[in-house]
Amino acid sequence: MNEDQVKVFERFAEDIQKQYEAVGIAVSVFDKDKVLYRKNFGYRDLETKAPIDDDTIFGCASISKSFTALSVMQLAEEGKVDINAPLCKYIPEFKDPQDEPVLVRHLLSHAGGFFPMPRILVEHVARDMGIWNDGKDELGMNEAMVIEGAKRVAERMSAQTRFTGKPGERMSYCNDGFGLLSEIVRREGDQPSFSEYVREHILKPLGMTRSSAEFIAPLKDPNHATLYKHVDGELKGGWDFYDNAFVLNGGGAMKSTIHDLTEYVRMYMNAGKPVANKHIVEEMYRPRQHYRYHCWYGYGVCSINVDDFTVNQHGGSLTGVSSNFGWSPELGVGVVVFCNTSGVPVAEISNAAFRMTAGHDPLPKPCALRCEWDEKTCRAACGKYVSGEGSTIEVTYENGKLRVLSGGKEAEFFTATPDTVFLTRPFTQGDAILLSDDEGKVWGVRTGGRILPKTE
C-alpha cells in the first residue's frame, strides 16, 4: 500500500459514508500476524460523538451464517451430524414438500428450493407465548421459545407449494434454512442453546471475549455502537437488536468487534486452527451455487472475483447493521468492515481495501458488459416479481422504452446479457437475473441472491 492509494481508498470510504449518511464505519486490514491498516470513520454514537475503537460492539447480521455453517461442519467432523442426510432426520417437524428430500447440505448453500418468506420474529413468537416483556429479557437462549420458533419455521417451509427448483438445483437466500441449521446445532451440539454452542466451540478458543449471539447484553455494554436506520428519509438512532430479529439465531444474531472478528477471519486464513481443520474450511468456501455476478456460494461463505484475485467473504444487513468480512488466499490478507447504519454498501469498501492492499487502484470498476435487449426479450421480462420478505421488482416496456422499478421506485439500470440487468446505486451495482422455463417463459428473477417469483 502506498500513500496515494491509501488516500484514494479513504476518500472513497468517506464518499460512501456521506452518500448513505453512515454514522460510523470501522475498517481493518490484516495478515495472519499483524494489522496492516486500521481506520475509523465517524462515530459509534452521533449525539455524543463517542469514538469507535477495536472493542466497539457492532451487529454482524448475516455474517452469523458463517458461524452457523462452521458449527454444523464441526459437528459433522465429530460424526454427530451427517450433512448428506435429510433435514427431517434432525428436524422431524419438517416434512419434505417435494418428491426429493431436502438435505442438510442443501440448506448450507441456500439451495433447499424455497422462495423468500416473511421473517418469523422473536417479538411475535414471544408475544404469542406471553413472555415478551417489552424486549427487556434475553430470549435468544429461551429454550421454549426456540422450540416454538423452530416448529413454526419448519411447518411453514413444509407447507410451501411453489419452489425455486428441486432441492440442490438453485440458490435462493433462505434465512429460514439457516435458522433450522442453528436448531440442529442446538439439538446435536450438547449445549442448551445455539448461542452457548458458538461461545464454547468458536468464541472461547479464538479469544473472542466481546462477541455473542445475545440481544440484550451488547447494548448494555458501555462501548457499543448505537444502531441507526432511515425512516421516511430521516436518520433515526436508538434501535435495539430485537428489531426485525429472526426467531432462530443462526441467520443473523451474532455481535462482534473489529478485534474479535479479525481473530475469526484469521482462523480461516490459518486453515481452521484452532477450532477446525483444513478440510472443514475448504468445504465451506468451495463454490457450489451461483449467487451473484462473478460470485458463488459455498457453506455460509461465498467466493467472488475482485480484479485478478479471489475473496472469500460474507456480508450482513439488519437494522443498524451493515457488515462484511473476507480474506484473499492469493493476497494472504483479510478485511473486516463494520457500520452502525442500515443499507450502507460496505462490501464495496471491503473490496476497495483488498485492491489497495494488492497495489491496485482501490476504486471499483463498473461492469463492462453491455447488451441491448430486443423487443421479444423486453416483453418476456415484463411483470412484477415479489418476495415474501417484501422486496419487489417491476419491469415494463412501453413505446420502445424499458423501465425497471425496485421497491416501487424508478431504478437506474443497464442490460448486460440477454438475461441480466444491473441495478445501479451510488458506488455500487447489483445484478437481477431472469429465470426461464424450458419454453423460454420468464417465471422469476434472482436479485441480491434471492429468487423472486413472477406474479403478473
Residue closest to 220 by CA, chosen among 137, 315, 312: 137
Position 82 pLDDT exceeds 80? yes
pLDDT at 369: 82
Residue closest to 432 by CA, chosen among 443, 368, 444: 444
> Chain centroid to CA 384: how far?
25
- CA of 280: how far to CAs of 35, 112, 171, 343, in Å? 26, 21, 21, 32
pLDDT band at 225 (very low <50, low <70, confident <90, very high): very high
Identify the structural domains of the chain with CATH numbers, from first to last: 11-365 (3.40.710.10), 375-453 (2.40.128.50)
Per cent of the chain over pLDDT 90 is 95
Q: Pick the more confident residue, 328 or 368.
A: 328
In whole angstroms, give the CA distance from residue 104 to residue 109: 9
Helix (H) or strand (E) holding 434: strand 428-436
Determine how many CB atoms are found less than 10 A away from the CB of residue 386: 18
pLDDT at 27: 98
In whole angstroms, give the CA distance from residue 76 to residue 308: 34
Global confidence as pTM: 0.97
C-beta separation of 143 from 126 below 8 A: no
Average confidence (pLDDT) over 61-70: 98
In whole angstroms, give the CA distance from residue 92 to residue 388: 25
In whole angstroms, give the CA distance from residue 432 to residue 14: 28
Three cell numbers at 169?
438445483
Average confidence (pLDDT) over 356-361: 95
Average confidence (pLDDT) over 424-449: 94
| Mean of all residue pLDDT scores within the chain | 96
Helix (H) or strand (E) holding 321: strand 321-328
pLDDT at 293: 84
What's the Rg (C-alpha) of the chain?
Answer: 21
Question: Nearest-5° angle of CA 127, CA 128, CA 134?
Answer: 5
Q: Check whether the bond before 274 is cis (ω within 30° of 0).
A: yes
Position 456 pLDDT exceeds 70? no
Q: 3-state class of 394 per DSSP?
A: strand
In whole angstroms, give the CA distance from residue 6 to residue 102: 47
Average confidence (pLDDT) over 133-160: 95
**Residue listed under C-alpha cell 497495489:** 359
Three cell numbers at 234?
430521516
Strands 289-292 and 295-297 turn out to be antiparallel
The tens digit of pLDDT for each residue in 33-42 reads: 999 999 999 9
Q: What residues form DSSP beta bridges with 421?
A: 415, 432
Determine how many CB atoms are found less than 10 A away from the CB of residue 38: 14
The number of CA neighbours under 13 Å toward the Cβ of 234 is 3
The tens digit of pLDDT for each residue in 112-126 reads: 999 999 999 999 999
In whole angstroms, give the CA distance from residue 31 to residue 5: 18
pLDDT at 424: 94
Three cell numbers at 157?
417451509
Strands 428-436 and 420-425 turn out to be antiparallel
pLDDT band at 32 (very low <50, low <70, confident <90, very high): very high
pLDDT at 294: 85
Relative orientation angle of helices 3-19 and 346-358, to the nearest 10 degrees? 170
**Residue listed under C-alpha cell 466481546:** 210
pLDDT at 161: 95
In whole angstroms, give the CA distance from residue 39 to residue 28: 7
The tens digit of pLDDT for each residue in 176-193 reads: 999 999 999 999 999 999
DSSP secondary structure letters along 129-158: HT--GGGTS--TT-HHHHHHHHHHHHHHHH
Position 1 pLDDT exceeds 90? no
Contacts 24+ apart (CB under 8 A), 272-281: 274/205, 274/206, 275/70, 275/74, 275/201, 275/202, 275/205, 275/206, 276/70, 276/73, 276/74, 276/77, 277/77, 279/77, 280/70, 280/73, 280/74, 280/77, 281/70
The number of CA neighbours under 13 Å toward the Cβ of 311 is 27
